[in-house]
Structure formats: structure tokens, C-alpha cells
Amino acid sequence: MGKGKLAKFADMEAFENVFQCPFETVAEAPFVMRGHWHDQYFKNDHPIVLELGCGRGEYTVGLARLYPDVNFIGIDIKGARMWTGAKQAIEEGLGNVAFLRTHIELLDRFFAPGEVQEIWLTFSDPQMKHARKRLTGTRFLNLYRQFLTDGGVVHLKTDSLFLYTYTSHVVDVNRLPLIVRTDDLYHTEGVGDKKILSIQTYYESMWIERGLNIKYLKFRLPQAGELVEPEVDIPLDEYRSYHRTKRSPKEVGR
């Protein structure tokens, strides 16, 4: 039997690579290491890369193994999942890994302007009914601009055709510099560093087993210019975001 949630939360309080910061702690004042992740935690000036919605932390830890000269921070609100990656990083002695438990909406309280070089979005909830909640929507892109370097890179890896299509429209409508775009990552040549893209999350392995194509977008996010939402109708995915049960025809038509 796996370790219970309460035991995991107790572990997380002691993990030196985990920072748990509820809203009330940063509502009045920014996080103490905002603007100082390099000198106060990582003790180097290497680039900082975030994985938003990191879940169990497979991607954060996998990237840290491949690139010891880059700093990686996995961010999620669900601590019981994050425990897996945090514990693994400690056991492997990965000093270029940290985990932050908080809401993504609060990230400007944790990172100063220009402090982050890249962002990974790995199998985010497509939020088909709520554009403001989509992590590739203009609301969140404007948030990322507050701490991402000018022209910093955003990666999206997803099984959701809806989110992939929506994000493609966001990139095109706003003329964001596109680096890579493919709707079938593992059967497309020349899409970038296969070493990075071969890292698979828990959910990704499930979707591949079910025969779902993995989509990938990589683009730059300049600081200049007003971002606008695309005015397009996009067909909904025929399965739910995480549990993957079939949507009924009535639900698909909503």
C-alpha cells in the first residue's frame, strides 16, 4: 500500500527542495526568494525553467537529470502528487530541482521580472468551457510575461486536440514566434531535441497506450504587444480531461 496523504504532507514539510506557500502567506508580501532563486536556493546563475501543473514531477526530475546546468522548478497545488518527484530528486541528489506548492495564478508573487527563461505545460487541463482557465490563454500568457525573459520559450505538450488547436490559434493570431508545431510528436521528424521530448509523464504513458497522438507546440513570448483571444469555434474533445471517460453526445454538443 502506498504512503498516505497525511504522511506525504509531513514529509514535504521536511523536504528542503519543497516550498509550500498558501495564498495568505503571499497576499500581503511577495515570497521571500522572489528575485533571489539563483543566489538563495540554487547557488548558481544557471537558467530557471518552470513546469506548471507538474503533477508527480516526472518531467521536472527528468529534465533535471538531462541538464545539470539548468535549474528546474515544478509547480502544482496538489502536494500528495508532488511528493513523488520531490523525494526522487532528493534520493538522486539533484541539486538543480525545486518544487513549489501554490496556485499558478500567484506566480508573479514568487518570481521577479526576467527571472525565468522557459515554461513547460505538460498535459494541462484543456478547460474547454473556461477560456480564462486555459494555461495557454491570453490571461496566463500575460501573467508569464511578468517573470519570463523577453522572448522566453513556452512549451506545450498535450493529448488534447482542443487545447492544441486553441493554442495554435493564439500563437497565430498574436504572431508569436513559432519554433515547433506538430500534432503527432512521436511520428514527426525534426521537431527538436528528442532527448527532452522522450520524457513521459504518468498521464502521457496512459494516453499513448490508448492510441492518442501527442501534440507539441514550442513558441516564444515577447514582452511587447497586446495579446488577443482568437475568435474561433473549436470542436470539443470527445473524452474528459483526466479520467478520460467518453463524453455523451449531449455533452459534446454543449
Which residues have a catalytic role annotated? 125
Among 127, 145, 60, which residue's Cα sits nearest to residue 100?
60
Q: Which long-range contacts (CB under 8 A, 24 or more apart) does 179-183 make?
A: 179/153, 179/218, 179/219, 179/220, 180/216, 180/217, 180/218, 181/216, 181/217, 181/218, 182/215, 182/216, 183/213, 183/215
Q: How far is CA 116 from CA 124, 152, 186, 246, in A?
A: 20, 8, 28, 38
Q: Is-contact 155 118, C-beta < 8 A? A: yes
Q: How many CB atoms lie within 10 A of CB 122?
A: 22
Q: Is-contact 19 97, C-beta < 8 A? A: no
